């Protein structure tokens, strides 16, 4: 068994040994980026440095970042999606690029964590009018030993990250999917189905940030090529411990158990309502406890904070009072 704390220690130690300097977790409320309500990834505090401003700690950085994402909130309650989560990240600010980033990701997964190469698939950007197909990443994965039939090319909707707001640094990404169930895809279409229904879980994303999106929607080359990676703590801990859903990781399981204990008889850990309450309760507490502070209101972050408990459950459900009771207990 591996805990969230142990995974973080392994990850940060691995990258610090490779010249990365540890930077602190940033607030959930972006301080210098009014284009987004919350910090959705570790890149938010680093935008000036991704654009070329020198970072005081150098060109290689790593950290653990707390994140809030509401873009796919309707997926919360399934096996893998959360609105609040922690992300492990390493960055190259104009230093190494795709080959070294991919190689380090593969080394950490297979050697440090002991994941067999045959238990994961990868995706790469398929290319479009804005940027070419990412054959370079695919070649690197194949060189490292990933079978060609488990390297899939997907469009921008799936394999492109950023910008954080409407404009700014962005680029294609290559994603790593762990086979939470011992299954193999026969085609890219089958891979997409398996990754959307649960058997395959995305645990790491290497963003190859080389473009700058302008206000008119065009993409130009950045001053420097960057790497921005992210590994989900909850997802990775869950799959390393043999779970097929994120709610069995050590930071979520106790909350879910508490929700079940005060729920209707017969409620199970697979109950979607119970999972949504677990996620939203934790997210609301994290927003309330953030260093910059947010209170419920009718606008911006305060609106999201107020809506999290309300949208947790159907208005007719008994769970409505459970959410508020549990939140008070946690606070």
Digit-coded pLDDT (tens) for 193-221 = 999 888 999 999 999 999 999 999 999 99
Q: What is the pLDDT of residues 148-177, one digit of tens each?
A: 999 999 999 999 997 867 888 899 999 999
CA angle, residues 75, 78, 82, in degrees to nearest 5: 60
Instruction: For residue range 262-309, list pLDDT tens digits in order.
Output: 888 888 899 998 999 999 999 999 999 998 889 888 899 999 998 888
Q: Which residue has the higher pLDDT, 85 or 293?
A: 85
What is the percentage of the chain residues whose pLDDT exceeds 70?
A: 93
Please provide the DSSP assignment of 150-195 as one string. GEEEE-TTTSEE--SSSSEEEEEEEEEEEESSS---SSHHHHHHHH
**Residue pair 229/101 in contact by the 8 Å Cβ criterion:** yes
Distance from the first to the final alpha carbon of the chain: 29
pLDDT at 110: 95
Render the burial of 110-144: b for 16+ CB within 10 Å, e for the rest.
beebebeeebbbbbbbbbeeebeebebbbebbeeb
Query: SS3 string of 254-268?
Result: HHHHHHHHCCCCCCC
Instruction: Give the model's confidence band at 182: pLDDT under 50 very low, under 70 low, under 90 confident, else very high.
Output: confident
Please give the Cα distance from 314 to 36 (Å, whole number). Answer: 28
| Each residue's pLDDT tens digit, 10-34 | 999 999 999 999 999 999 998 767 7
What lies within 8 Å, CB to CB, of 278 at 6+ separation is: 247, 252, 255, 256, 259
pLDDT exceeds cutoff 60 at 313: no
CA separation, residue 37 to residues 60, 81, 200, 230 (Å): 27, 19, 30, 20
Residue 227 pLDDT > 50? yes
Is 70 exceeded by the pLDDT of residue 324? no
Q: What is the pLDDT of residue 331?
A: 39
Q: Give pLDDT, residue 320.
A: 44
Rounded to 5 degrees, what are φ and ψ at 22?
A: -80, 125
Cis upstream peptide for 163 (omega within 30°):
yes
- CA angle (282 as vertex; 279, 283 as ends), nearest 5: 80
Whether the CB-CB separation of 201 and 80 falls below 8 Å is answered with yes
Q: What is the mean pLDDT of residues 122-140?
A: 96
pLDDT of residue 20: 98
Residue 102 has pLDDT above 50, yes or no: yes
Average pLDDT over residues 69-90: 93
pLDDT above 90 covers a percentage of the chain that reads 70
Q: Where are the beta strands (DSSP E) in the chain?
A: 21-22, 60-68, 84-93, 120-125, 151-154, 160-161, 168-179, 200-213, 219-232
- Identify the pLDDT of residue 318: 44
Tell me the average pLDDT across 74-83: 93
């Amino acid at each position: 068994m591996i805990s969230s704390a142990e995974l973080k220690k392994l990850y940060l130690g691995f990258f610090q040994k490779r010249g990365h300097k540890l930077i602190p977790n940033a607030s959930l409320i972006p301080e210098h980026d009014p284009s987004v309500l919350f910090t959705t990834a570790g890149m938010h505090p680093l935008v000036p440095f991704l654009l070329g401003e020198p970072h005081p700690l150098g060109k290689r950085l790593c950290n653990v970042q707390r994140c809030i994402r509401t873009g796919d909130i309707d997926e919360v309650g399934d096996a893998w999606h959360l609105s609040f989560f922690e992300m492990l990240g390493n960055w190259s600010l104009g230093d190494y690029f795709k080959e070294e980033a991919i190689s380090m990701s593969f080394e950490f997964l297979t050697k440090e964590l002991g994941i067999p190469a045959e238990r994961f698939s990868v995706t790469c950007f398929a290319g479009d009018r804005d940027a070419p197909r990412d054959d370079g990443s695919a070649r690197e994965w194949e060189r490292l030993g990933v079978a060609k039939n488990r390297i899939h090319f997907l469009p921008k909707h799936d394999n492109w990250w950023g910008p954080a707001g409407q404009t700014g640094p962005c680029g294609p990404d290559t994603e790593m999917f762990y086979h939470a169930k011992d299954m193999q895809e026969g085609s890219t279409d089958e891979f997409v189905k398996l990754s959307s229904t649960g058997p395959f879980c995305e645990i790491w994303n290497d963003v190859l940030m080389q473009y700058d999106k302008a206000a008119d929607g065009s993409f130009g080359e950045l001053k420097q090529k960057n790497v921005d990676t992210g590994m989900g703590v909850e997802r990775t801990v869950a799959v390393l411990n043999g779970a097929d859903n994120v709610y069995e990781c050590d930071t979520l399981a106790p909350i879910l158990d508490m929700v079940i204990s005060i729920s209707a008889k017969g409620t199970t850990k697979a109950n979607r309502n119970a999972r949504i309450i677990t996620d939203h309760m934790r997210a609301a507490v994290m927003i309330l406890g953030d260093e910059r502070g947010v209170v419920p209101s009718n606008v911006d972050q305060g609106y999201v904070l107020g809506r999290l408990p309300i949208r947790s459950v159907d208005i007719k459900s008994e769970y409505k009072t459970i959410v508020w009771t549990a939140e008070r207990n946690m606070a």
